[in-house]
């Protein structure tokens, strides 16, 4: 199985017509592999958000290809793109974008029900585990207006994880948060990456956020440039992440989530609501996660 989760090939984006045509993106090429945290940095107006929107299929490029999990999605119809977004991509926005009339749990459960993969009971059980993962087990029944900004963003991250996406796209995820909440959110991102091999593509203008990335690129005047990851706050964040990684509860939560996934797969096979290709994909996903958990268990044993 290819490790290439996302490929942007010769992406250009032009708005308007001559003589008022504006080229926002110019021949962008970017590949994101499984397990990476890629940060895109650049000043306002450089094209960061446009690039993220194209990567998330929310906007179409003027030219070029968007390839997600080996599938060229550039020319797919909107109904096909909706399915891709639901199952393959997680989104976390600066303004959280939670449904105001839904509780934290309902916000997390909703995309699972939309996907058609989970029964209501399965989605509820999985949603509770995801909220435990982001340390919101005591706030499951609260509405967004009853949560702090940092808590709302953690709900958004749990929601983004709901359908086990290939990649999570984050647009200025700490832009509305104070320093402490920002540190908590980014340490959670790093933890999910280290412990769960979750892939992230993050747009940010914040050097502290970008310093946690495994790779950083810089966009300027619509062109992409490779930059090495640097950041003076990386050590502070890493220490907090390491504390999280080696908590024994990590294994308990991960094993529960995999158990739920396996039960869901078994039910779908028994009811004939899954084809052979998806069975193979789900089985490969489970094997990859089990192998990763073995690595984490080995790291925990080293502390004994």
DSSP string, 2-70: --EEEEEEEEEEEES-TTS-EEEEEEEEEEEETT-EEEEE--TTSSHHHHHHHHTTSS--SEEEEEETT
| DSSP assignment letter at 171 | E
Tell me, yes or no, whether 219 and 281 share the same domain. no
Is 62 inside a domain boundary?
Answer: yes
Cis peptide before 188 (omega within 30 of 0): no
Q: Do 271 and 201 belong together in one domain?
A: no
Residues spanned by the domain of 282: 246-304
- Mark whether 107 and 139 lie in a shared domain: yes
Q: Clarify whether residues 57 and 16 are in a common domain.
A: yes
What is the 8-class DSSP label of residue 214?
A: S
Tell me the sheet residues that pair with 227. Answer: 216
CB contact at 8 A, 243 and 184 = no
- pLDDT score for 51: 95
Residue 198: what pLDDT? 94
Query: Looking at the domain assignment, is residue 180 inside a domain?
Result: yes
Q: Which residues of the chain have pLDDT under 70?
A: 1-2, 227-251, 296-304
Quick one: pLDDT at residue 254?
Answer: 74
Q: Is 241 among the domain residues?
A: no
- Please tell me the predicted confidence (pLDDT) of residue 227: 54
**Distance between CA atoms of residues 16 and 23, nearest Å:** 9
Residue 253: the pLDDT is 77
Same domain, 106 and 36: yes
Whole-structure pTM value: 0.81
Domain boundary residue among 236, 258, 292?
Answer: 236
Cβ(174)–Cβ(181) under 8 Å?
yes
Q: Tell me the C-alpha distance between 52 and 29, whole Å.
A: 13
Same domain, 111 and 196: yes
pLDDT at 230: 46
Residues 43 and 107 occupy one common structural domain: yes
Grouping H, G, I as helix, E, B as strand and the rest as coil, residue 103 is: coil
For residues 280 and 206, membership in a common domain is answered with no
175 & 29 share domain: yes
Pick the last residue of a domain from 187, 206, 236: 236
Report pLDDT for 231: 43
Q: Look at the chain and report how many structural domains it folds into.
A: 2
Clarify whether residues 221 and 298 are in a common domain.
no
Three-state DSSP class for residue 71: strand
The pLDDT tens digits of the residues spanning 35-80 come to 999 999 988 888 999 999 999 999 999 999 999 988 999 999 999 9
Q: How many helices (H) and strands (E) does the chain have?
A: 10, 10
Same-domain pairing of 197 and 261: no
Examine the domain organization and report whether 66 and 134 are in the same domain.
yes
> Which pLDDT score, from 0 to 100, does residue 130 have?
95
């Amino acid at each position: 199985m290819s490790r290439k989760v996302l490929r942007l090939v010769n992406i250009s984006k032009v708005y308007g017509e001559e003589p008022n045509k504006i080229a926002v993106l110019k021949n962008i090429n970017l590949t994101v592999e499984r397990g990476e945290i890629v940060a895109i940095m650049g000043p306002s107006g450089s094209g960061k958000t446009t690039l993220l929107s194209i990567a998330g299929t929310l906007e179409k490029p003027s030219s070029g290809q968007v390839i997600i999990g080996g599938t060229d999605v550039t020319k797919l119809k909107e109904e096909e793109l909706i399915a891709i977004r639901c199952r393959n991509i997680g989104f976390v926005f600066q303004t959280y974008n939670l449904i105001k009339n839904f509780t934290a749990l309902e916000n997390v459960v909703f995309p699972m029900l939309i996907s058609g993969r989970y029964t209501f009971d399965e989605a509820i059980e999985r949603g509770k585990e995801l909220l435990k993962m982001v340390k919101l087990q005591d706030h499951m029944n609260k509405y967004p207006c009853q949560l702090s900004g940092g808590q709302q963003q953690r709900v958004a991250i749990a929601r983004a994880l709901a359908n086990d996406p290939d990649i999570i796209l984050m647009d200025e995820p700490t832009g509305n948060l104070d320093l402490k909440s920002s540190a908590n959110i980014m340490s959670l991102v790093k933890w999910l990456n280290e412990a769960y091999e979750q892939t992230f593509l993050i747009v940010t203008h914040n050097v502290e956020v970008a310093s946690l990335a495994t790779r950083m690129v810089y966009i300027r005047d619509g062109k992409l440039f490779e930059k090495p990851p640097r950041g003076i706050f990386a050590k502070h964040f890493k220490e907090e992440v390491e504390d999280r990684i080696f908590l024994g509860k990590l294994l308990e939560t991960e094993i529960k989530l995999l158990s739920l996934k396996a039960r869901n797969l078994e039910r779908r096979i028994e009811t004939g609501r899954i084809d052979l290709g998806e069975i193979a994909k789900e089985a490969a996903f489970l094997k990859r996660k089990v192998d990763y958990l073995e690595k984490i268990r080995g790291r925990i044993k080293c502390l004994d």
